[in-house]
Amino acid sequence: MKIQLLDPLVAQRIAAGEVIERPASVIRELLDNALDAGGKTIITSVTDGGLEEIKVIDDGEGIEREDLPLLCESHATSKVRELDDLYHIKSMGFRGEALYSIAAVSRITIASSYQGSDPYQITIDNGKKEAVLPGGPRSGTMVTVQGLFKELPARRQFLKRPSTEATMARSVLLEKALAFPDRAFRFISDQTIRVDLVPTTRKQRVLDVLSLNQNIVPSEMLELYDTAGRFDLYAVCSSPALSRSDRSHIKIYVNNRPVEEYSLVQAVTYGYGELLAGGSFPYCYLFIDVDPTLVDFNIHPTKREVKLRNKAEIHHQVVSMIASQIKRTIPRLVKQELEREDAPLLAPIYQERPSPHHTHQAAERAGRYEAKPPVDSDWFQKARELLDMKSSRSTEGEDVWAQQEDDQEFVYLGQAFNLFLVAQKQDDLYLVDQHAAHERLIFDEVREKKNIQELMIPLSFEVERDVDAYLLESQDVYLNLGIKLERIEDLLWQIKTLPALYRNIESQLIAFIQHTTGDSKEVEKGLYAVVACHAAIKAGDSVDRMMAISLLTKVFKLDEPTCPHGRTFVVRLSKEELMKAVQRT
């Protein structure tokens, strides 16, 4: 094929595709410009998720009239003059690609007043520049972007629903707001104010942003500081009493830019070390201020990747800062004390070695346990086989369920450590792990598909294209589990019926459906994990007497007291064993 030069407009749109992916990409670039212009109040507005219109207004210094025609030219920028400037970058933008790229795929109007002078504006419609005209705000700059990808329908097909695009745009604004707590940020979606952040302190800005979606106790969020050589560290991190089951709230900023740098996320987790139980992660917003000569953001158009010449040194200092400044909380000390005291006491009675669950159970005693699926990929099948078997055990001492009679009465004595339900049957004392026991009972309910209810108000949710195709072919997989799904329109589904067991955890159920395309066994396995991890009574929960008796009544009717993960959740102590332990016999 003969080589020829691309049409300038085609080349422009290809280049734009590297920078502008969706409305959130436009907002990211426009916010950077507003911040660089010194805007103290920045307002972002979207209509129809940004597909119809995006508007960003700031009260910065503005743009001079003679500079307006240069704004949407390739590599036109006020932030870099020569090659050496790339190694001393302090501004958020510097490539001169953002406005050029936006102008290639939309109609963009930039109206500005330079330091309070008469305002002027220019419009570029999908690469076609119009004349500079008078008009615009009395101070600062207003950028209006209309019809994003309107002339590129193939690009629009990859976008999500307007509501989802609006949520992603909001997330970009919050991401920027975290790095600039001294600025005011407002986000408006379809003429409704969704976010309104006033200037504040660095810690309070993190708390304000978290409070929009999280239920955070401010006293559990700590400020950390450190400095070493040519960089400074500042972080707002959670105490060991507050954790998550994923890394989604470990955010790294380098010179006020949010970056994706796994080694620094890893440094945060290393810093916490054993302060958190396995599989638990902190909230941590880490801000690193580095000498610009040691940083290179000129790697990817979105500037989310960074090269740090002193990355190893920063990694070490982050670990050191967190390890030295985050202290163990009182519950963790209690946990250690329990581990130290209970191991020698229980071992002689049961003649068992500490099990792999020992640390897991100790974390539960501290009241911080969050249920998670086991790592064994075959656990679900093993659980099904185990629970389908009828008990045929002997009456040897290690069988905690031997010699039980369904009609034998028990006396509920109370709750120990907010973890064990304690009951007495004749000359035996029983300690029942409340979380594992409830998990087992819930597992049985899931399999029996009890109490399926029709929802008065169906639950709507959006899915990706591959999940949409999967659900069209596999609705019966969920229907067989009591969940009726109905497709409303392209990429939009509803839940019409639901087992009562799933009430109050609908959001977790929807998240599961949105990300699952497995076979029926995988779906059943995943649904069980969702319910068991969120609906079961947790270790650390206070259980009232009526609930405890109801739970124990069901437990004592089980053929075998094993949780779906395969472990026994009942310990039996005979009167004789207790007397031996205190040397009364």
pLDDT, average across residues 547-569? 78
Cβ-based burial of 129 (10 A; exposed 0-12, middle 13-18, buried ≥19): middle
DSSP string for 461-527: EE--HHHHHHHHHHHHHHHTTT-EEEEEETTEEEEEEEEGGGTT-HHHHHHHHHT----HHHHHHHH
The tokens 């604004």 sit on which residue? Answer: 173
Q: How far apart are CA 320 and CA 262, in angstroms?
A: 17
The DSSP H or E segment spanning 184 is strand 184-189
pLDDT score of 175: 95
Query: In this predicted model, which residue has the larger pLDDT, 392 or 302?
Result: 302
- Is the predicted pLDDT of residue 454 greater than 80, yes or no? yes
Q: How far apart are CA 525 and CA 373, in angstroms?
A: 10
- Is the predicted pLDDT of residue 122 greater than 90, yes or no? yes
With bands split at pLDDT 50, 70 and 90, how would you rate the model's confidence at 189?
Answer: very high
Adjacency order of strands within the sheet including 484-489: 452-462, 492-499, 484-489
With bands split at pLDDT 50, 70 and 90, how would you rate the model's confidence at 369?
Answer: very low
Please state which of the ranges 28-37, 129-138, 328-337, 538-547 shows the lowest mean pLDDT. Answer: 328-337
Please state which of the ranges 306-310, 363-367, 398-402, 547-551 shows the lowest mean pLDDT. Answer: 363-367
pLDDT 10s digits, 32-57: 999 999 999 999 999 999 999 999 99
With bands split at pLDDT 50, 70 and 90, how would you rate the model's confidence at 76?
Answer: low
Please state which of the ranges 248-257, 263-272, 359-368, 553-562 shows the lowest mean pLDDT. Answer: 359-368
What is the CATH superfamily name and number for domain 376-585? MutL, C-terminal domain, dimerisation subdomain (3.30.1540.20)
* 432 close to 570: Cβ distance less than 8 angstroms: yes
Query: In this predicted model, which residue has the larger pLDDT, 274 or 185?
Result: 185
Cβ-based burial of 7 (10 A; exposed 0-12, middle 13-18, buried ≥19): exposed
pLDDT score of 499: 84
With bands split at pLDDT 50, 70 and 90, how would you rate the model's confidence at 544?
Answer: confident
- Is the predicted pLDDT of residue 361 greater than 70, yes or no? no
- Is the predicted pLDDT of residue 269 greater than 50, yes or no? yes
At 265, which amino acid appears? V
With bands split at pLDDT 50, 70 and 90, how would you rate the model's confidence at 169?
Answer: very high
Phi-psi region of 162 (alpha: psi -120 to 50; beta: other; left: phi over 0): alpha
The tokens 């105490």 sit on which residue? Answer: 239
Query: In this predicted model, which residue has the larger pLDDT, 192 or 88?
Result: 192
Q: Using alpha carbons, list the distances in angstroms from residue 369 to 358, 365, 557.
A: 13, 8, 27
With bands split at pLDDT 50, 70 and 90, how would you rate the model's confidence at 523?
Answer: confident
pLDDT score of 500: 80
End-to-end Cα, the chain, rounded Å: 97
Q: Which two tokens stand for residue 460?
A: 């709507």
What mean pLDDT is reported for the chain? 78
Q: What percent of the chain has pLDDT over 70?
A: 74
Residue ranges, comma separated, of all CATH 3.30.565.10 domains in the chain are: 8-196
- Is the predicted pLDDT of residue 213 greater than 70, yes or no? yes
Note the helical H segments in 212-309: 262-272
Query: In this predicted model, which residue has the larger pLDDT, 121 or 401?
Result: 121
pLDDT, average across residues 416-445? 84
Query: In this predicted model, which residue has the larger pLDDT, 4 or 273?
Result: 273
Contacts of 167 (CB under 8 A, 6+ apart): none
pLDDT score of 301: 55
According to DSSP, residue 244 is labeled B
Fold of the 202-325 domain: Ribosomal Protein S5; domain 2 (3.30.230)
pLDDT, average across residues 523-552? 76
- Is the predicted pLDDT of residue 84 greater than 70, yes or no? no
Class of 8-196 per CATH? alpha beta
pLDDT score of 465: 84
Q: Is the pTM of this model over 0.85?
A: no
- Is the predicted pLDDT of residue 206 greater than 50, yes or no? yes
With bands split at pLDDT 50, 70 and 90, how would you rate the model's confidence at 5?
Answer: low
- Is the predicted pLDDT of residue 486 greater than 90, yes or no? yes
pLDDT score of 250: 95
* 72 close to 87: Cβ distance less than 8 angstroms: no
The tokens 């992916």 sit on which residue? Answer: 21
- Is the predicted pLDDT of residue 570 greater than 90, yes or no? no
- Is the predicted pLDDT of residue 167 greater than 90, yes or no? yes
pLDDT score of 548: 86
Residue ranges, comma separated, of all CATH 3.30.1540.20 domains in the chain are: 376-585
With bands split at pLDDT 50, 70 and 90, how would you rate the model's confidence at 508?
Answer: confident
pLDDT score of 217: 85
With bands split at pLDDT 50, 70 and 90, how would you rate the model's confidence at 192?
Answer: very high
pLDDT score of 11: 53
Residue ranges, comma separated, of all CATH 3.30.230.10 domains in the chain are: 202-325
- Is the predicted pLDDT of residue 283 greater than 80, yes or no? yes
Query: In this predicted model, which residue has the larger pLDDT, 224 or 243?
Result: 224
Q: Which two tokens stand for residue 436?
A: 């594992």
- Is the predicted pLDDT of residue 415 greater than 90, yes or no? no
Q: What is the 3-state secondary structure (H, E, C) of 144-167?
A: EEECCCCCCHHHHCCCCCHHHHHH
